[in-house]
Amino acid sequence: MSPAVHSIREPESFDPERVKRDFPIFEHATDPQRLHYLDNAATTHKPGAVVDAITSSYTQCYAPIHRGLYPLAEQATSQYERARRTLQHFIGASSPEALVFTASATEAINMVASGWLKPRLCSGDVVWVSRMEHHSNYLPWQRVCRESGAELRFIELTREGQLDLDSSRELFAERSKFIALCHVSNVLGIENPVAALCAEANEHGIPVLVDAAQSVSHLEIDVSAMGCDFLVFSAHKMFGPTGIGLLYGREDRLADMEPLQVGGGMVDIVGDATRESCWAEIPARFEAGSPDMPGAAGFAAAAEYLAGLGREGVRRHIASLTQFAAEQLRTIPDISLLPHPELPSSGIVSFTHRSLHPHDLAQVAGEAGVAIRAGHHCAQPLLNHLGLAATTRASFSIYNDASDVEALIDAILTAQKVFCE
Ligand code: PMP
Question: How far, in Å, CA of 325 to CA of 320, rounded?
Answer: 9
Answer whether 88 contacts ligand 1 (Cβ < 6 A).
no
CA of 240 to the centre of ligand 1 (A): 14
The answer to whether the beta carbons of residues 335 and 323 sit under 8 Å apart is no
Question: How far, in Å, CA of 333 to CA of 383, rounded?
Answer: 22
Answer whether 215 contacts ligand 1 (Cβ < 6 A).
no
pLDDT tens-digit map of 137-151? 999 999 999 999 999
Kindly report the protein residue whose alpha carbon is nearest to atom 7 of ligand 1. Answer: 42
Q: Which of 173, 191, 204 is nearest to 318 (CA)?
A: 191
Number of domains in the chain: 2
Q: Are strands 335-338 and 348-353 parallel, antiparallel or unpaired?
A: antiparallel
Answer whether 412 contacts ligand 1 (Cβ < 6 A).
no
Which range of residues forms the domain containing residue 398? 16-46+310-420
Atom of ligand 1 nearest to the CA of 185: 3
Answer whether 214 contacts ligand 1 (Cβ < 6 A).
yes
Q: Could you tell me if residue 187 is left (phi over 0), alpha (psi between -120 and 50 degrees) or otherwise beta?
A: alpha
Question: How far, in Å, CA of 113 to CA of 283, rounded?
Answer: 17
**Residue 32: predicted pLDDT:** 59
Q: Could you tell me if residue 230 is left (phi over 0), alpha (psi between -120 and 50 degrees) or otherwise beta?
A: beta
CA of 184 to the centre of ligand 1 (A): 11
**Residue 4: predicted pLDDT:** 41
Question: Does 384 lie in the same domain as 413?
Answer: yes
Question: Does 185 lie in the same domain as 131?
Answer: yes
**Residue 342: predicted pLDDT:** 65
Asked, for residue 7, whether it belongs to a domain, the answer is no
Peptide bond into 283 cis (omega under 30): yes
Q: Could you tell me if residue 387 is left (phi over 0), alpha (psi between -120 and 50 degrees) or otherwise beta?
A: left
**Residue 176: predicted pLDDT:** 97
Answer whether 106 contacts ligand 1 (Cβ < 6 A).
yes
Question: Does 62 lie in the same domain as 191?
Answer: yes
Question: Does 164 lie in the same domain as 202?
Answer: yes
pTM of the model: 0.95
Cα 421 to Cα 124, 263, 361, 411: the distances in Å are 56, 62, 14, 15
Question: Does 376 lie in the same domain as 256?
Answer: no
Q: Output the tens digit of pLDDT for each of the chain's 421 residues.
A: 333 443 344 455 899 999 999 999 998 766 656 899 999 999 999 999 999 999 999 999 999 999 889 999 999 999 999 999 999 999 999 999 999 999 999 999 999 999 999 999 999 999 999 999 999 999 999 999 999 999 999 999 998 889 998 877 899 999 999 999 999 999 999 999 999 999 999 999 999 999 999 999 999 999 999 999 999 999 999 999 999 999 999 999 999 999 999 999 999 999 888 788 999 999 999 999 999 999 999 999 999 999 999 999 999 999 999 999 999 999 999 999 997 766 667 899 999 999 999 999 999 999 999 999 999 999 999 999 999 999 999 999 999 999 999 999 999 999 999 888 7
Asked, for residue 155, whether it belongs to a domain, the answer is yes
pLDDT tens-digit map of 384-393? 999 999 999 9
> For the range 418-421, what are the long-range contacts, defined as Cβ-Cβ under 8 Å and sequence gap of 24 or more?
418/364, 419/355, 419/356, 419/360, 419/364, 420/334, 420/355, 420/356
- Count CB atoms within 10 A of the CB of residue 300: 27
Tell me the CATH number at 199.
Answer: 3.40.640.10
Active-site positions?
378
Kindly report the protein residue whose alpha carbon is nearest to atom 5 of ligand 1. Answer: 186
Answer whether 104 contacts ligand 1 (Cβ < 6 A).
yes
CA of 413 to the centre of ligand 1 (A): 31
Asked, for residue 186, whether it belongs to a domain, the answer is yes
CA of 147 to the centre of ligand 1 (A): 24
CA of 209 to the centre of ligand 1 (A): 14
Q: Could you tell me the strand order of the sheet in which 176-182 lies?
A: 99-102, 245-249, 230-234, 208-211, 176-182, 126-130, 151-155
Question: Does 349 lie in the same domain as 240?
Answer: no
Tell me the CB-side half-sphere exposure of residue 207, using CA atoms within 13 A.
20
